[in-house]
Structure 1
């Protein structure tokens, strides 16, 4: 059996809750301010990322109960995370946001609520409300921030609508509360290099991010990026190059940071390109095999904070 070479999310949840915990996706009838003002990120499809969830018109409690029952029967699970997955959930008016969170927190066996949002949509009023819910119900709170890359030039190219500064500010705001922070990154954006991946790992580590969710770029049909791809305006790195970059990212990442995933997923019929036509679990096996063969692991190059750069000159 291949030894685990990074701090996996599943192992972390077992440590935290004493047993296997499953995420239940929740789809809400929301949107993203960047889509309304600037047309959205060039990679963002009309469905957003909610393809695994039920329709947004279905009440939250019903979504959670139905998905929970399916997972419970299949995996004999007892504890769950309500995952507010799609678009920018803190963009809802506060009174609407309150209703959604309270409803999810009241569902039996929900031990955590994970809220996906943007760095430029973090508001102290929402954070204070979430803290009150956490204190009153005992339900843990995780805020998921879409950074994608530390390269602000690339952020501009993909029409992200924020820069690195907004991400740093959001992390500092959230860290005033006892929430966990999960950061989403895409490691093979066409305009990024291996050095950008390393710098992203360093920034997440320096800011003491708790969890990172790594995505491999896919090209969804109907997006601006799909049009660019069809016109040949950029190319995507090879599978081997991605794996090498991913491993390098992990080696510079603090060993304390939990890694939730290594590759993205999208229905085959919705994509022009996805994961080099290879299943995510085969790709993961390739990563683990290469890390094993080279005897490398997450954080083995984590030696750049606390004055380490200066010490190398002495």
Structure 2
């Protein structure tokens, strides 16, 4: 069995959809998060550093167009990509005032950009923004996708990490986005200290019954100076071993709908100022070991998927 048969990979999905190799180009905007500035919370999620999620992005003082052109030049040479996704990655992009949001999105429509991906929180999905994005999709001929940071369906854990929302807001966001026909990618952290294998299974089941299109898996990394960094140094929780993380990934894959596209199994993280990153292993080594275990077991995505319609 080849790796591409273990689960539905994002790279193959993009080639099938757009006919060429496609790469994401990160866009970094001058914005923040409502969970940091007091709108719904202070300080953000306990694991979130001041740079948010876009540690590899260009400076947000550079225009959207120039960020994309610069990244496009680099990526096209290095990876031979011909088409691109403008990925509005950092913080809560739909927290911008609507006029600014429209300006930035329209500025991202440059040559060879075939899709715009908007990363945001599930509790900041407003109809006005979705309506505008649908108009862009129809009138400008680019696909729109939404990426929602959920991290876990365990609402007790969400409260512990100060997410500022629960599971119900996520379900509401998914139902409203689906009315517009946009693909939805959900971000999950499979090794949050207060989650166990039951939560992994529930993650898989809830994403499946909601007909989520894509999923992006992360391993928790801990940054010095964050609330979780302080908790880690004070030994207030224990990180699971890498073997258990790999097992969680496999169980998750075996229990999700076989058509959900998997953007990645583990993410890269900044090593600078970090207290814990991927068990001091390279992300690709962990990924390859997951592949090997799945090969040995005859495991594959959806192998144990028997949840919908009481099957």
User: What is residue 202 of structure 2 aligned with on the other side?
Assistant: 199
**d(CA) in 2 for partners of 1:88 and 1:227?**
25
**d(CA) in 1 for partners of 2:276 and 2:230?**
12
User: What is residue 100 of structure 1 aligned with on the other side?
Assistant: 104
User: What is residue 75 of structure 2 aligned with on the other side?
Assistant: 71
TM-aligned CA deviation for residue 174 of structure 1 = 0.1
User: Residues 257-310 of structure 1, C-alpha deviation per residue, up to 9 Å, x if partnerless?
Assistant: 0000111211211311010000001101100000000001010111111022xx
User: What is residue 183 of structure 1 aligned with on the other side?
Assistant: 186
Alignment partner of 2:160 out of 148, 152, 157: 157
Answer yes or no: is the 8 Å Cα contact 1:218–1:264 preserved in 2. no
Answer yes or no: is the 8 Å Cα contact 1:2–1:288 preserved in 2. no
User: What is residue 86 of structure 2 aligned with on the other side?
Assistant: 82
TM-aligned CA deviation for residue 153 of structure 1 = 0.3
TM-aligned CA deviation for residue 78 of structure 1 = 1.3
User: What is residue 216 of structure 2 aligned with on the other side?
Assistant: 213
**Pair 1:19-2:17 in alignment:** no
TM-aligned CA deviation for residue 72 of structure 1 = 1.4
**d(CA) in 2 for partners of 1:3 and 1:54?**
32
**Pair 1:248-2:251 in alignment:** yes
**Pair 1:36-2:40 in alignment:** no
User: What is residue 311 of structure 1 aligned with on the other side?
Assistant: none
User: What is residue 51 of structure 1 aligned with on the other side?
Assistant: 55
**d(CA) in 2 for partners of 1:62 and 1:229?**
39
Give SS of 2:146's match: strand
Give SS of 1:33's match: coil
In the superposition, the TM-score normalised over structure 2's length comes to: 0.97
**d(CA) in 1 for partners of 2:14 and 2:74?**
20
Answer yes or no: is the 8 Å Cα contact 2:187–2:215 preserved in 1. yes
TM-aligned CA deviation for residue 75 of structure 1 = 2.3
User: What is residue 239 of structure 2 aligned with on the other side?
Assistant: 236
Give SS of 1:120's match: coil
Answer yes or no: is the 8 Å Cα contact 2:21–2:80 preserved in 1. no
Alignment partner of 2:95 out of 91, 98, 102: 91
User: Residues 82-126 of structure 1, C-alpha deviation per residue, up to 9 Å, x if partnerless?
Assistant: 000000000000000000000002x11100000100000000000
**Pair 1:62-2:66 in alignment:** yes
Give SS of 1:67's match: helix
Q: Which moved more, 1:264-273 or 1:50-59?
A: 264-273
**Pair 1:3-2:38 in alignment:** no
Answer yes or no: is the 8 Å Cα contact 2:250–2:294 preserved in 1. yes
